[in-house]
Amino acid sequence: MNAALLAIIVLILYFLAYRFYSKFLADKIFRLSDDEVTPAHEKNDGIDYVPSNKHVLFGHHFASIAGAAPIIGPAIAVFWGWVPAIIWIVLGTIFMGAVHDFSALVISVREKGRSVGDLAGTLINHRARTLFLLIVYFLIFFVIAVFAYAIASLFVAFPESVLPVNFQIIVAVIIGFLFYKKGVPILWPSIFALITLYVMIWVGTFVPMEIPAIMGSQIVTWILLLLAYSFIASVLPVWTLLQPRDYINGHQLILGLGLLFVGILVAHPEMQAPAFNHNAAGGVPLFPFIFVTIACGAISGFHGLVASGTTSKQLNKMKDSRMIGYGGMLGEGVLAMIATLAVAAGISRGDWLTHYETWDLAAKGGITNFVHGASTFLHALHIPTVFSNTLISVIVISFAATSLDTATRVQRLILGELGTAYKIKPLKNRYVGALLAVVPALLLAVLVEAPGKGLGSGGFLLWPLFGATNQLVAGLTLLVATIYLWKTKRPVIYTLIPMVFLVLMTIAAMLWNFKAFANNPLLLILSAIILALSVWLLLETYFVYKTQKTEKAIESKINE
């Protein structure tokens, strides 16, 4: 099949979904009104609660959720063929992922900006809140470790990207100061910043930068530096770095996706990957693993944490949540679609068969396959190879870094909620919380080893565990949304069906992980803990629902 035709079909489906389905959810299910006062106004503190222009906030939210995961997942999942990957991306995005993100954002805003994990305490019981927050802690633990490893790997593979990525941080701080402290309109400075970034990408092609190795690995060095950066970024007010950087990244991603899409239309390549890979080797089954391998590109629990952890605290008007929540996820679906086309049509048939011969090869090379595949689309626009490789790697790194520091901030807030619940005062300190967010992730990213490869080599071994935990949190977030709709006497089917499907697929994948991690005690223990916490939470929900249903039945009989 022609990749350009497939891309056009997917974009039309996303447009129709936003035009009709998101409007239905906003008007009929959640009944949005701008008369509602948002937490950004009610609790404005200038640090976490800050009313934000919807376009700026869209950039922050989109950049935070659109990290490396919607690229890595599809780039690996094409191992089973491009048809199952595209079907799950499209249907998952429209009916599950966008509904999940939108629901989490709206409910959090209506509950004073509380995280979805904290809301489980109100909607279910106090034990459920603790269980949910613990599961969330593990998820973000994996997010920070995996994304730090992914960025470090790209810095080592594409040293030309180091200079422009770090230049962007400096520019973002300047723009944040001009916008929030000097009142300078943000649009033109951010466009100027984007132009200078592309100039620095060109400069970077002539100035590749490498770094000394620690413990025999440059990746370990980069992980240490990245997590030190994440600590600093997570304790700063959102306006100093997070919002302006994400706003620039939003422009960068839209422009980058636009270039890639035009490149696809000009090159109009045929699919080189098989529709279904009947020769898939490696013992990893299509079902249920495609649903956890492609996580952020279809639905992601991390998105609900961003929506309820940071975005809900910055929402200016309630109706902005439709564009930011539902629309942001559609944007990520576009990124996942392009990632799929890059590795399914952007590399030759012979290279594809070599790179995807086994599951291990697919998992290890997914992100670099994307960079090289996407670069071929830019070649159709006569962009030189070195520049296109650097450009694509900078885009991937920028968004992964944004998710990295957002995840650290969310982890800090989650620890603060646990500190409030159990009266542990140090956890409410943002510096202590940030430290407890980065140190365990640092140890995990550095100490997990690929067989015979040394320290800091096993980051992508965490991907099945990250994917399963991520989707489990998404299912549990939909569970919270379903209970909210049920208690407010609104239709629940639009969140209930995705929730049941996702929980079943995820639990099946986690059970399979016990076999995959048989020779890795650490990952085996982590899998067991997460599964036990999840089953406990589901049982708590069932018993609470059963009790409340019985009480309502008794009350109804008394009233009769």
1-11 pLDDT, tens digit per residue, is: 899 999 999 99
| Residue 453 confidence (pLDDT) | 65
| Residue 60 confidence (pLDDT) | 76
Helix pair 82-92, 3-16: axis angle to 10 deg: 20
Least confident of 78-82, 172-176, 527-531: 172-176
Q: Between residues 557 and 528, which one has the greater pLDDT?
A: 528
- ∠ CA 57-408-164, rounded to 5°: 70
| Residue 32 confidence (pLDDT) | 94
Confidence of residue 59 (pLDDT cuts 50, 70, 90): confident
Helix, strand or coil for residue 383? coil
Least confident of 39-53, 245-259, 262-276: 245-259
- Whether 77 shows a pLDDT value over 90: the answer reads yes
Instruction: State pLDDT tens for residues 496-519.
Output: 999 999 999 999 998 888 887 877
Overall average pLDDT of the 374-387 stretch? 90
Overall average pLDDT of the 110-115 stretch? 91
| Residue 514 confidence (pLDDT) | 84
8-state DSSP, 269: P
- Whether 302 shows a pLDDT value over 70: the answer reads yes
Residue pair 474/93 in contact (Cβ under 8 Å)? The answer is no
Q: Between residues 253 and 41, which one has the greater pLDDT?
A: 41
Q: Between residues 237 and 268, which one has the greater pLDDT?
A: 268
- Whether 97 shows a pLDDT value over 70: the answer reads yes
Q: Between residues 76 and 245, which one has the greater pLDDT?
A: 76
Mean pLDDT of the chain: 88
Q: Which residue's entry shows tokens 């709206």?
A: 106
Overall average pLDDT of the 427-447 stretch? 89
Residue pair 395/256 in contact (Cβ under 8 Å)? The answer is yes
Phi and psi (nearest 5°) for 214?
Answer: -115, 135
- Please report the DSSP string for 387-435 in residue order: HHHHHHHHHHHHHHHHHHHHHHHHHHHHHHHHHHHTT-GGGGSHHHHHH
- CATH code 1.20.1740.10 for 3-559: yes
- Whether 248 shows a pLDDT value over 70: the answer reads yes
Confidence of residue 190 (pLDDT cuts 50, 70, 90): confident
Overall average pLDDT of the 477-492 stretch? 93
| High-pLDDT (> 70) share of the chain, % | 96
Residue pair 412/235 in contact (Cβ under 8 Å)? The answer is yes
pTM of the predicted model, to two decimals? 0.87
